[in-house]
A and B are shown apart, each in its own frame.
Chain A
């Protein structure tokens, strides 16, 4: 499973970083950055799905 953020939709709510702090961080403007390149370790998948479910802008895209 891979994850990315659509920068045009992300408005920096940071709900993702609360749900999955190891997967999502923030740039200087508070917008989301994905901290893990490539496939996610299995133990971070659930948190990443929770982040997706908590993003008010539907900006998180998961590629299975």
Chain B
């Protein structure tokens, strides 16, 4: 079920949100929205709803049969993104193939490789005493990790970054895409074709020479006796470029901006790296770098737990950021504490679409924090760069510039 009106709805949603939730410090605004609207549900116009409250959001995430994720997202792709825009039961089939490939155990095995890649970037600038953290570390490190996962040599990094930019940052490929939507979609669609071609070649190579890497596993994995078709595998590769790179990059900029601005809390990490896992969870809660979910469409008239009824066809967007600060779940949500108990944050979503890459992402973030603070324990925002820019899109800091001595 592809619903082009969803694109329009999500456009209106974003406009409504841009007016009401500030990008630099959204947390108080999330709470204000919870208080301003019954059930924390903002309805900027007929057929559109945004859930800021935890109860409604949990309800939406747990009822995939009432709220379909099978929406059409305009990212240059020609088919729905697997598994993001697929509903159960088909969705479960894909997750059965994918979950074991991204399981905690498998990701544990990747840790030394991830650490080596993090250090390779730090090596480049550690002696300079400063870096543009966003560009020189955050935007590249997750792609480098993916090269390892996919069994590609380091020299493919540029290509990888180029493909990513073509769909997620078309203005970097053609500056005219910034203001002109026709150019924007043209760049995205052209890159989409490049992605299909590029991964087709890679997959041909794996078919000829199987290896112990993700691409080979995609080709050979079986569920209920079926393997995935070439198209299905391509759709997956496509989604990984979209879901697996900027999410981690953006999280890194949020986490490091926070730590650079909070030296006492940073010192906790330097003094005892064992606090890192707790710090990552708490900062993911506080920052919620993926602030909103994939728009979902009500498959029938639905009554929400607070009594509100949503009409069939309503496009519902959940605010993960709102859920992660909701006073009903976090009475002291504005305190950022690395040793917080009872942290049921849903920065990775929830229900059947819970982030497939969460175990990988957690390790990337933990390792980046561990290696960085081991090598550069004392740092701050470079004087003159204190005015942090949080552009539209996922929550991230542009050109976060750090310095150390």
Report the bound CA distance from A50 to B277 in whole Å: 15
Shortest Cβ distance from B98 into A: residue = A29
Report the stretch among B6-14, B146-154, B350-358 that lies at the interface.
B350-358
In the complex, are the beta carbons of B344 and A54 less than 8 A apart?
Answer: yes
The reply to whether the CB of A57 lies closer than 8 angstroms to some CB of chain B is yes
Render B82-108 as a binary contact track against A, CB cut-off 8 A, 1 for contact: 000000000000011001101111000
A30/B99 in contact, CB under 8 A: yes
Instruction: State which size class the interface on B falls in.
Output: 20 to 34
Q: How many residues of A contact B (CB 8 A)?
A: 18
**B354 CB, nearest partner CB in chain A, Å:** 4
Tell me if A18 counts as interface (CB < 8 A to partner B).
yes
Nearest CB on B from A48, distance (A)? 12
Is B341's CB under 8 angstroms from A57's CB?
no
Where chain A touches its partner, the secondary structure class is loop
- Are B105 and A56 in touch, CB under 8 angstroms? no
Interface of B is mostly: helix
* A13→B284 CA distance, assembly (Å): 14
Whether B342 lies near A29 (C-beta < 8 A) is no
Please tell me if B184 contacts chain A, counting CB pairs below 8 Å. no
In the bound complex, do residue B350 and residue A56 qualify as a contact, i.e. CB atoms below 8 Å apart?
Answer: yes
Query: Which of B102, B341, B348 is within 8 Å of A13, CB to CB?
Result: B348
Cβ A50 vs Cβ B351 within 8 A: no
* A15 in contact with B342 (CB, 8 Å): no
Given A13-B354, A15-B281, A53-B341, does the pair A30, B348 have CB atoms closer than 8 Å?
A: no
Interface residues of B (CB under 8 A from A): 62, 95-96, 99-100, 102-105, 277, 281, 341-346, 348, 350-352, 354, 358-359
- Beyond the given pairs A26-B103, A56-B350, 17 more chain A to chain B contacts, judged by CB atoms under 8 angstroms and listed by A's residue number, are A11-B351, A14-B359, A18-B277, A18-B281, A26-B104, A28-B100, A29-B95, A29-B96, A29-B99, A29-B100, A30-B102, A30-B103, A30-B359, A50-B341, A50-B342, A54-B343, A54-B344
